[in-house]
């Protein structure tokens, strides 16, 4: 990272009320370490080996995957939170794949204040990860715009400006695949409608023509309050509903087996695609269908 970019990133991050980057690392570590047991582990493995997750991973187009349990998990540390963190961790290991993560339940449990765990906290966390990733991985990037009031002070406090900053940062990714994992959505602090509105705004940005020309977005949302707002907004998505009883199809060590290998192959595929984008002059994909192509 160039010295100027380093300073811009550091200054922008230092203006946040919370160290959201450290909280992401903390939540990911706790989620993956707290591996569920027995039937809960089987449900996590059922999700991680599902056809829906495979389609989401392998599609060359932007895809939204919504994961719900037939019965909502009672605990913050659930099979869904473990599975979501497992997916995010797998892709965060690759410098070719910008991967953003936010755990609504963990943040809500730690601090119920909306500034710490509500819609603004979600956007600040996503933007903090993007600012860091762009500064470290986008060669020759000019982050001078972060010093403007709209993208500095206002974007840390105002939802509309934060969404604008999110779009600007995603545009700077160039041709890439962006992974976003938001876990335990219904546990986001604040009114449910506000949480749904900010999720809808994020999907609107990623589904816009300007973004889709270069960025393939893979968004995983788990444990929404309901799906009606997605229907009302006309949001296309894949859905997976984890049964209450999936049997005991896997052993406790299988997280190091087929599931890990499948995610590793998907990650390697994205790394190869990212490399080819830098080498090729044209677009890496030719879209022949609109089915599932956009979020909206």
The reported pLDDT for the residue numbered 160 is 97
Number of domains in the chain: 1
User: What residues have CB less than 8 Å from 143, skipping those under 6 apart?
Assistant: 4, 5, 8, 9, 12, 131, 134, 135
Question: Would you state the structure tokens that stand for residue 129, as one six-digit string?
Answer: 């990860």
Residue that is written with structure tokens 């023509």 in the block: 209
Partnered with residue 217 across adjacent β-strands are 178
pLDDT in tens, 79-128: 999 999 999 999 998 878 899 999 999 999 998 899 899 999 999 999 99
Question: For residue 287, is it within any domain?
Answer: no
Question: For residue 57, is it within any domain?
Answer: yes
Q: How far apart are CA 174 and CA 163, in angstroms?
A: 18
Judging by beta carbons within 10 Å of its beta carbon (0-12, 13-18, 19+), is residue 33 exposed, middle or buried? exposed
User: What residues have CB less than 8 Å from 273, skipping those under 6 apart?
Assistant: 177, 284
Q: What percent of the chain has pLDDT over 90?
A: 69
The 3 state secondary structure assigned to 165-221 is HHHHHHHCCCCEEEEEEEECHHHCCCCHHHHHHHHHHHHHHHCCHHHHCCEEEEEEE
Residue 284 scores a pLDDT above 80 = no
The reported pLDDT for the residue numbered 222 is 96
Question: For residue 17, is it within any domain?
Answer: yes
Question: For residue 111, is it within any domain?
Answer: yes
Question: For residue 162, is it within any domain?
Answer: yes
The reported pLDDT for the residue numbered 112 is 86
pLDDT in tens, 192-233: 999 999 999 999 999 999 999 999 999 999 999 889 999 998
The reported pLDDT for the residue numbered 266 is 58
Which one has a higher pLDDT value, 133 or 254?
Answer: 133
Question: Would you state the structure tokens that stand for residue 14, as one six-digit string?
Answer: 């230092």
The reported pLDDT for the residue numbered 197 is 95
The answer to whether 24 and 101 have CB atoms below 8 angstroms apart is: yes
Question: For residue 182, is it within any domain?
Answer: yes
Residue 248 scores a pLDDT above 70 = no
Question: For residue 238, is it within any domain?
Answer: yes
pLDDT in tens, 4-18: 888 999 999 999 999
The reported pLDDT for the residue numbered 126 is 98
Question: For residue 237, is it within any domain?
Answer: yes
Question: Would you state the structure tokens that stand for residue 74, as one six-digit string?
Answer: 């009672």
The reported pLDDT for the residue numbered 34 is 83
Pick from 114, 47, 107: nearest CA to 82 = 47
The reported pLDDT for the residue numbered 63 is 95
What CATH number does residue 159 fall under?
3.40.50.300
Q: Which domain holds residue 127?
A: 3-244+253-274
Sign for the pseudo-dihedral over CA of 155, 118, 125, 204 = negative
Residue 288 scores a pLDDT above 80 = no
Residue that is written with structure tokens 């997605």 in the block: 230
* Number of other CB atoms surrounding residue 59 within 10 Å: 16
The reported pLDDT for the residue numbered 265 is 59
């Amino acid at each position: 990272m160039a010295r100027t970019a380093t300073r811009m990133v550091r200054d922008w991050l230092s203006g946040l009320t919370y160290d959201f980057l450290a909280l992401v690392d903390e939540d990911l570590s706790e989620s993956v370490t707290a591996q569920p047991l027995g039937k809960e582990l089987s449900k996590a493995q059922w999700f991680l080996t599902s056809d829906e997750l495979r389609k989401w991973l392998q599609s060359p187009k932007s895809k939204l995957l919504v994961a719900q349990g037939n019965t909502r998990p009672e605990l913050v540390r659930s099979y869904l939170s473990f599975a979501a963190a497992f997916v995010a961790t797998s892709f965060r290991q690759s410098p070719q794949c910008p991967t953003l993560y936010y755990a609504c339940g963990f943040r809500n449990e730690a601090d119920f204040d909306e500034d710490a765990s509500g819609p603004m906290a979600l956007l600040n966390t996503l933007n903090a990860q993007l600012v860091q990733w762009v500064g470290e991985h986008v060669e020759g990037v000019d982050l001078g715009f972060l010093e403007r009031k709209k993208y500095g002070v206002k974007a840390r406090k105002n939802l509309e400006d934060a969404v604008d900053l999110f779009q600007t940062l995603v545009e700077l990714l160039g041709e890439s695949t962006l992974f976003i994992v938001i876990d335990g959505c219904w546990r986001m602090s604040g009114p449910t409608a506000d949480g749904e509105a900010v999720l809808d705004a994020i999907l609107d940005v990623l589904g816009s023509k300007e973004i889709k020309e270069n960025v393939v977005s893979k968004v995983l949302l788990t444990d929404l309050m309901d799906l009606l707002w997605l229907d009302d907004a006309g949001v296309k998505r894949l859905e997976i509903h984890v049964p209450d009883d999936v049997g005991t199809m896997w052993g406790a060590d299988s997280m190091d087996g087929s599931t890990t290998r499948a995610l590793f192959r998907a990650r390697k595929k994205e790394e190869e695609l990212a490399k080819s984008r830098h080498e090729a002059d044209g677009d890496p994909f030719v879209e022949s269908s609109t089915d599932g192509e956009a979020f909206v």
